[in-house]
Amino acid sequence: MMTRTRFAPSPTGHVHIGNMRAAIFNWLYARHTGGQFLLRVEDTDRERSTPEAIKTLLEAMEWLGLNVDETPLYQSTRMEAHLAAAEKLLASGHAYKEDKGGTGQGECIIFKMPGTDMAFTDLVKGTLKKSAKDIADFVIVRSNGTPVFHLANVLDDIEQKITHVIRGDDHVENTFRHIAMYKALGAPVPQFAHLPMIINAQGKPYSKRDGDAFVGDFQEKGFFGDALFNYLALLGWSPGDDREVMTRQEMIDAFDLVTVRSSPAQMDLRKLLWMNGEYVRAIKPEDFAALCRSELSAAGVTPGDHADAVFALMQERTKLPSEIVPATAFFFTEEFEYDQKAVEKKLLKEGSFQCLEKIIGIFQTLENFDAETVNTALHNFVEQGGLKFGDVMPPLRIAVSGQQSGPDLAPVLAILGKEKSIARIRKTIERFKG
Ligand code: GLU
């Protein structure tokens, strides 16, 4: 039988990474098994499921490359079918009506649990059991005539012929009820896989309070969709070896539900940042250059001489596009700003200016000004003078870039070239020596 999985979010305007991770696992499993991946928009809460909220959801899926195989099913269009099924359950004795709490506000329809102990084999968690006394009968149609989540969810999974329900483990308790409903409706029971929670460093469910938690946050910050996809795929799953940065096809090939871990998965924003850096490195140099040009142009900086060398140097160390402008603007203008703190801490120090004067002298003697030659010259200067790198390099870096951190200094100097490097050092001395 062909595998059919689905993503069944309730749109709220924000797509939490936990939901998206469920979508990714569904997508990967469908692709791995040569099956189909469907979308069902559980939009019965009309106040939250606005057209904008749905648009946000669809855009997030597109950004992550989660293509679906059929037209999405909108749950709100299925109310009649849900109510008709409730009537059927009443007729077959699997449900009954009750004026809950005797409020006189009308009757709800209540599903009648079979009254037997229940068990099912979860593809991630193994055998799960529940005794009859712990699962009470439950409402499937409210007294105002609207169907409840359990009814709609199960009927739509039947309608969409879902074979594998892969969702967060906050739904485990619901699943016992859902299985009873499949049986009462005479429908085949799908397989279930409940995914471990995504937690913060304290072991609590990861939320907005812990940092970026919505797909849109990462998109706005300039993360690559492929990098976020890769990172989320590894939250609770691994290919069984030490691979981490994987192509989509490698993930599809390696993915399986039996290798999904049942223990909670910890969200680590630094690791995600690292992963994004790996994706930045992997793009074509010309694509990275185009990204740099667009970032710089948005900031009003015109990349001039040696722009390609600058971009090549940056590609190795850039994790997010937002780092590009602050890290490269100084290459393209003599009017770069000095980081005041850096100046105070590292430049206005005993011996700094003397040291910079000497460096000018050394640079003047160099015939070649490639990174290696510059590097060797600086090393010799430090070693022969019995100096410390920590006293020499920071003032030099500030002198040519205004900043106290950045790419390796020797290639930066080589790209600027001998004349410009010397001129900048001179200018810095004049400006700050006092
Ligand atoms: N709309 C539900 C949710 O987002 C569906 C859960 C499911 O069955 O996948 O939690």
Residue 294's CB: how many other CB atoms inside 10 A?
12
Please tell me the predicted confidence (pLDDT) of residue 87.
Answer: 98
| Mean pLDDT value across the chain | 96
The pLDDT tens digits of the residues spanning 18-46 come to 999 999 999 999 999 999 999 999 999 98
Q: Cα of 207 to ligand 1 centre, how many Å?
A: 18
Report residue 106's pLDDT band, with 50, 70 and 90 as the boundaries: confident
- Look at ligand 1, atom 6, and give the residue with the nearest C-alpha: 8
* CA-nearest residue, atom 10 of ligand 1: 9
- 102 pLDDT above the threshold of 90: no
Helix H, strand E, coil C: the string for the chain is: CCCEEEECCCCCCCCEHHHHHHHHHHHHHHHHCCCEEEEEECCCCCCCCCHHHHHHHHHHHHHCCCCCCCCCEEHHHHHHHHHHHHHHHHHCCCEEEECHHHCCCCCEEEECCCCCCEEEEECCCEEEEECHHHCCCEEEECCCCCECHHHHHHHHHHHCCCCEEEEEHHHHHHHHHHHHHHHHCCCCCCEEEEECCEECCCCCECCHHHCCCEHHHHHHCCCCHHHHHHHHHCCCECCCCCCCCCCHHHHHHHCCHHHECCCCEECCHHHHHHHHHHHHHHCCHHHHHHHHHHHHHHCCCCCCCCHHHHHHHHHCCCCCHHHHHHHHHHHHCCCCCCCHHHHHHHHCCCCHHHHHHHHHHHHHHCCCCCHHHHHHHHHHHHHHCCCCHHHHHHHHHHHHHCCCCCCCHHHHHHHHCHHHHHHHHHHHHHHHCC
The atom number, within ligand 1, closest to the CA of 153 reads 8
pLDDT, one tens digit per residue, over 185-220 is 999 999 999 999 999 999 999 999 999 999 999 999
Structural contact between residues 368 and 375, judged by C-beta atoms closer than 8 angstroms: no
Q: For tokens 């004026």, name the residue.
A: 99
Of the candidates 131, 7, 148, 132, which has an alpha carbon nearest to the alpha carbon of residue 67?
7
Q: Are 388 and 402 in contact (CB under 8 A)?
A: no
Question: What's the CA-to-centroid distance between 75 and ligand 1, angstroms?
Answer: 12
Helical axes 371-384 vs 352-365, angle rounded to 10°:
130
Mutate to test the pocket of ligand 1, among 167, 178, 181, 194 (most ligand atoms within 8 A of CB): 167
- CATH fold of the domain at 340-432: Arc Repressor Mutant, subunit A (1.10.10)
Choose which residue among 153, 165, 197, 198 to substitute to test ligand 1 binding: the one with the highest number of ligand atoms within 8 A of its C-beta: 153
- Interval between CA 166 and ligand 1 midpoint (Å): 9
Residues with CB under 6 A from ligand 1: 8-10, 42, 153, 167, 171
Distance 8 CA to ligand 1 centre (A): 5
Six token digits for residue 156: 């739509």
C-alpha of residue 350 to centroid of ligand 1, in Å? 64
Residue nearest to atom 5 of ligand 1 (CA): 8
Cα-to-centroid distance, 136 and ligand 1 (Å):
21
- Closest ligand 1 atom to residue 167 Cα is 9
Q: Going by DSSP bridges, is the β-strand pair 95-98/108-111 parallel, antiparallel, or unpaired?
A: antiparallel
Ligand 1, atom nearest to 170 Cα = 10
For the CA of 19, the closest atom of ligand 1 is 4
The tokens describing 181, both together, are 């409903």
Per-residue pLDDT of 121-152, as tens digits, reads: 999 999 999 999 999 999 999 999 999 999 99
Given a contact cutoff of 8 angstroms between Cβ atoms, the answer to whether 196 and 264 are in contact is yes
Tell me, in angstroms, the distance from the centre of ligand 1 to residue 21's CA.
Answer: 13
Q: What pLDDT is stored for residue 304 in this prediction?
A: 87
HEC profile of 139-166:
EEECCCCCECHHHHHHHHHHHCCCCEEE
Q: Is the pLDDT of residue 233 over 80?
A: yes
What would the two tokens of residue 242 be?
């030490």
- Please state which of the ranges 81-90, 103-112, 348-357, 375-384 shows the lowest mean pLDDT: 103-112
CA-closest residue to ligand 1 atom 3: 9
Task: Identify the CATH number of the domain defined by range 1-70+196-282.
Answer: 3.40.50.620
C-alpha span between 197 and 202 (Å, rounded):
13
Ligand 1 center from residue 105 Cα (angstroms): 29
- Distance from Cα 244 to the centre of ligand 1, integer Å: 28
In angstroms, the CA 107 to CA 355 distance is 88
Nearest CA to ligand 1 atom 4: 9
Closest atom of ligand 1 to CA, residue 157: 8
Question: Does residue 215 contact residue 156 with C-beta atoms inside 8 Å?
Answer: no
Give distance in angstroms: CA of 46 to centre of ligand 1: 16
CB atoms within 10 A of CB 353: 20
- Best residue among 6, 7, 10 to mutate for probing ligand 1, ranked by most atoms within 8 Å of CB: 10
Q: Phi and psi at residue 241, in whole multiples of 5°?
A: -135, -165
Range 64-75 average pLDDT: 98
The one-letter amino acid at 342: A
pLDDT class of 242 with cuts at 50, 70, 90: very high
Atom number of ligand 1 nearest to Cα 174: 8
Rounded Cα–Cα distance for residues 270 and 121 (Å): 36
Ligand 1 centroid distance, CA of 393 (Å): 56
All structural domains of the chain with their residue ranges: 1-70+196-282, 283-332, 340-432
| Length reported for the chain | 434
Q: Which atom of ligand 1 is nearest the CA belonging to 166?
A: 9
Q: Once rounded to an integer, what is the mean pLDDT over residues 346-352?
A: 93
Q: Does the pLDDT value for residue 271 go beyond 80?
A: yes
Q: What is the pLDDT of residue 76?
A: 97
